[in-house]
Amino acid sequence: MEYKLADRMSYLKASEIREILKVTERPEVISFAGGLPAPELFPIEAIQEASNRVFEEEGYKALQYTTTEGYRPLREWISNRMNKRWQTAFEPDNIVLTHGSQQALDLSGKVFLDQGDIVLCESPTYLAAISAFKAYGCEFIEVPTDNEGMITSQVESILETQGNRVKLIYVIPDFQNPTGRTWSLRRREQLVKLATKYEIVIIEDNPYGELRFEGEMLPSLQSFDDVGCVVSLGSFSKVFCPGYRIGWVMAHEKLIEKYVLVKQGADLQCNTMAQMVISKYLELYNIDEHIDKIRDVYRQRRDAAIEVMEKEFPKEVKFTRPEGGLFAWVELPTHINARVVLEKCLEKNVAFVPGGSFFPNGGNENTLRLNFSNMPVDRIKEGLKCLARVLNQLNIT
């Protein structure tokens, strides 16, 4: 039978990361490819305790349907936490829980995007946001981006000429995926001013913000927003665990209504048990102590990665030095293709993600992303030394 599929199916493609992950499941592979948190840090006994408490105290409720908005005590905790952390002033009703923040991206596409609309994004940007938005037929304009974030003068000239076709500006200001870069305070403020002036919604995606290894936490873009133009996305995947798939959207009530409406059609609601177990964990335990542990371990892993890269990579290779998060970004000389490097590395059981997929309009095949959260220091060193040897054997100059 010849299947007649939707037009979108002709331009959607499988996530390169998820495909590489299948190859790298063998234990001998040293993989910098995924974005997986370190499982040995999951507070597994505490979660089991919270889970048992939920079963015993409110088991019937936890196994039944619930509201689309999500479990209210958890939304209360999130609004309090976000207000404290990011200097905003939101209520629980400004939040809808989502099935991981990937769903928040998909719902954002559904709420805002029609065929032919434009999304501005950092260059490079998170590849799963590209595929979530692309399903709604949008186009991307990649905004030139430096170590302070999007270059806002460039944003303004794009909005001047294309303003009426631009529906969203998508950014990850803290420890960006894939580059690990963090936006400066100045650029945060400037982008919100521009969005306010041109009445464009900013999607501020912040799954890693709590994982800062050094320096001062900066206020979120949303904290500069007086008109309701910023929608922020958050997640428990990196500070707690990803298996429960709980993230959230925080925004003006008028927009939250719309997110609730599309979530109803998309999947009715989040897993009730997961919402209640996380809420119970937050009631019984101090998550800050837990996050401190994660930060310490990831800081050591980042340090180990940077140390090897500084010492052993050819001097023509540039890389970022992230102040937090899970990723560093490597730029090879333009004539080197990271996919060729990957092939050579895979022969030696080392994996990473070539950077090309993080550019929605293609090109930049000389880049690659390194994840440093998922392996102990000695494996990180061994793997990066191997990558360094491969790079040094190339005709790199």
Span 95-114, contacts to a second copy by CB under 8 A: 99-100, 102-103, 106, 110-114
**What pairs with residue 322 in β-bridges?**
none
Segment interacting with a second copy, rule: CB under 8 A, options 262-270, 328-336, 344-352, 379-387: 262-270
Of 163-182, which residues contact a second copy (CB under 8 A)? Answer: 167
C-beta closer to a second copy: residue 200 or 341: 200
Interface with a second copy, residue 27, by CB under 8 A: no
Interface with a second copy, residue 314, by CB under 8 A: no
Interface with a second copy, residue 390, by CB under 8 A: no
Interface with a second copy, residue 64, by CB under 8 A: yes
3-class secondary structure, 385: helix
Q: Which of 131, 75, 124, 123 is nearest to 102 (CA)?
A: 131
Interface with a second copy, residue 376, by CB under 8 A: no
Interface with a second copy, residue 284, by CB under 8 A: no
C-beta of residue 207 within 8 angstroms of C-beta of residue 36: no
Number of residues written out for the chain:
397
Interface with a second copy, residue 258, by CB under 8 A: yes
The DSSP element (H or E) to which 120 belongs, if any, is strand 118-122
Interface with a second copy, residue 74, by CB under 8 A: no
Q: Give the whole-angstrom CA distance, residue 322 versus residue 193.
A: 26
The distance of Cα 329 from the centroid of its chain, to the nearest Å, equals 14
Residue 247 is classified by DSSP as E
Q: Which of residues 88, 94, 125, 131 is near a second copy by CB under 8 A?
A: 131
Segment interacting with a second copy, rule: CB under 8 A, options 258-266, 280-288, 319-327, 387-395: 258-266
C-beta closer to a second copy: residue 11 or 334: 11
C-beta closer to a second copy: residue 319 or 372: 372
Give me 106's structure tokens: 């998909």
Of 180-239, which residues contact a second copy (CB under 8 A)? Answer: 196, 199, 201, 227-229, 237
Interface with a second copy, residue 162, by CB under 8 A: no
The DSSP result for 85-109, as a single string, is HH-----GGGEEEESHHHHHHHHHH
| Nearest-approach distance from CB 308 to a second copy, in angstroms | 26
Q: Which of residues 34, 124, 173, 207 is near a second copy by CB under 8 A?
A: 34
Contacts of 377 (CB under 8 A, 6+ apart): 300, 301, 304
| Nearest-approach distance from CB 111 to a second copy, in angstroms | 6
Residue 187 is classified by DSSP as H
Distances in whole angstroms, Cα of residue 158 to Cα of each of 120, 143, 362: 9, 9, 19
Interface with a second copy, residue 94, by CB under 8 A: no
Nearest-Å Rg of the Cα atoms of the chain is 21
Q: Which of residues 52, 161, 162, 334 is near a second copy by CB under 8 A?
A: 52
The DSSP element (H or E) to which 238 belongs, if any, is none
